Structure 1
Amino acid sequence: MSLTEQISQLESDLQELGSLLGKAERKRVQDLLKEEQKKVEKELTAKRLQQEQQARREAEPSSASKAAYTVKITSYAWDQSDKFVKIYLNLKEVQKIPSENVEVNFTERSFSVLVKDLDGKNHQMTVLNLLHPISVQDSYKKIKTDMMLVMCKKQTTKKWECLTSVEKQAKEKDKPNMDENADPSDGLMSMLKKIYEDGDDEMKRTINKAWSESQEKKLRGQEMMDF
């Protein structure tokens, strides 16, 4: 019997009890009818409340539709021991969502993270081309307060220079030219130029101030300031 049918039956019972109560003449019978009437009224109120809650749940969007879009996790930190590479992801209140909402998939040279319906969004991260192979079956995740930890088990016990081959290439690309035949001042200027371009406003102001002071000293016949 559906909830609507149950409510209809209780309403009919209540109506009939009221009719009987109006015809009853003896006090004992009246008291019995009134007591039964209160029980039915209480049950009817509970069923109506249950019906309202059910209607409200059906009207609300599901968890999947609430998480309307996916954002990429681009900020992370990593550390390592001889046996594991550890990736730290800052995800506020991640410990409050169901554990099945946090998925991590491993391959020998990659891993991917998907956190579903956290703060109304899905959070995703994929790292490809790991520097060395990892053990898929021995890698795992940990959920902590406002943080998630991805534990990649190394197949070989040794230190990694960096997390991925992509990061290694990026580091090599960013290294200043160390040609032994080049003018040392050229290398210094190239390094300063890169620091200036990559730095924030405070770093740029500091470099500009130092450069201005060095030029003033040069004009006064002093040696250029050693950067």
Structure 2
Amino acid sequence: MDINELIAGLESDLTEISSLLEKCERQRVRDVLTQERQKMEKELAQKQQQKLQRAKKDSGDKTDIALKAYTVKINNYGWDQSDKFVKIYITLKGVHSIPAESVEAAFTDRGFHVLVRDLDGKNHQMTVSSLLFPIVVAESSKKIKTDMVLIMCKKKSAKKWECLTQAEKQSKEKDKPNMNESADPSEGLMTVLKKIYSDGDDEMKRTINKAWVESQDKKAKAEDLDF
């Protein structure tokens, strides 16, 4: 199968998995889908890298040292947004001093891939394939600034993004406390106490046991008074 077809297939699969994750309510199923998505993201990054290498090779530059260089993942970045664009700021010292063609960016409906070749003897890459919302590929672009690569993702709609990726949104939702008004408050308290008791040392356990016994005694006395 042609590499472009493989990439298109992986991108479609990732879009579908992201859609399923948005609707998924069972944590076990969510974990399985998340693991599968991570595998696909890794495979997509590899295929995109292969595509870039093939394109360079087909252009006749078979001695490109940059493609043989050690590749590192880009971790130093920030992001911001306007009504029309989501902007990713990738900090790379000296990136403005290398040839512009050494900085490549490819976009998909829900992601982008950046490859900076031969900067300080290394290649630098970043792949995001689960953006929070779809983008307009044809109107997305890159800009090279002093010590920085700016990725401009054109929003399909003007809605405000609460985070950059689906994974970040799911992580935030997972960490949210249970705000179910119909839930018994004592159940939440008991859960917290059980965790503290389980993780605590002997002194902490004795303290909790004493407090529990005293509270039960008070409760029993109060019930006796009601009679």
TM-score for both structures, normalised by structure 1 = 0.52
Residues 129 and 164 of structure 1 are in contact (CA less than 8 Å); yes or no, is this contact kept in structure 2?
yes
In 2, Cα distance between equivalents of 1:85 and 1:184: 42
Say yes or no: does 1:182 pair with 2:188.
no
Aligned-residue identity in percent: 62
Residues 67 and 116 of structure 1 are in contact (CA less than 8 Å); yes or no, is this contact kept in structure 2?
no
Residues 63 and 117 of structure 1 are in contact (CA less than 8 Å); yes or no, is this contact kept in structure 2?
no
In 1, Cα distance between equivalents of 2:66 and 2:118: 9
Say yes or no: does 1:134 pair with 2:135.
yes
Residues 86 and 151 of structure 1 are in contact (CA less than 8 Å); yes or no, is this contact kept in structure 2?
yes
Residues 105 and 111 of structure 1 are in contact (CA less than 8 Å); yes or no, is this contact kept in structure 2?
yes
Task: Return 5+ residue gaps in structure 2 as ranges.
Answer: 1-62, 197-206, 208-227
Secondary structure, aligned partner of 2:69: coil
In 2, Cα distance between equivalents of 1:106 and 1:155: 14
Say yes or no: does 1:100 pair with 2:101.
yes
Query: Cα distance, 1:69 vs. partner?
Result: 0.7
In 1, Cα distance between equivalents of 2:137 and 2:156: 9
Report the counterpart of residue 121 of structure 1 in structure 2: 122
Query: Cα distance, 1:110 vs. partner?
Result: 0.9
Name the count of aligned residue pairs. Answer: 134
Query: Cα distance, 1:65 vs. partner?
Result: 5.8
Secondary structure, aligned partner of 1:129: coil
Pair 133,66 (structure 1): closer, same or farther in 2 beyond 3 Å:
closer
Query: Cα distance, 1:63 vs. partner?
Result: 5.6
Higher Cα Rg: structure 1 or 2? 1
Secondary structure, aligned partner of 2:127: strand
Secondary structure, aligned partner of 1:150: strand
What whole-Å deviation, never above 9, does each CA across 1:97-155 have from its counterpart, x for those lacking one? 00000000001111000000111100000001212111111101111111111000011
RMSD: 3.0
Query: Cα distance, 1:88 vs. partner?
Result: 0.7
Secondary structure, aligned partner of 1:130: coil
TM-score for both structures, normalised by structure 2 = 0.52
Report the counterpart of residue 168 of structure 1 in structure 2: 169
Secondary structure, aligned partner of 1:95: helix
Say yes or no: does 1:159 pair with 2:160.
yes
Query: Cα distance, 1:178 vs. partner?
Result: 3.4
What whole-Å deviation, never above 9, does each CA across 1:8-43 have from its counterpart, x for those lacking one? xxxxxxxxxxxxxxxxxxxxxxxxxxxxxxxxxxxx
Secondary structure, aligned partner of 1:167: helix
Residues 66 and 120 of structure 1 are in contact (CA less than 8 Å); yes or no, is this contact kept in structure 2?
no
Q: Greater relative contact order (Cα 8 A, min sep 6): structure 1 or 2?
A: 2
In 2, Cα distance between equivalents of 1:128 and 1:119: 27
Please identify runs of 4+ aligned residues in structure 1 that moved more than 3 A: 177-180, 183-187
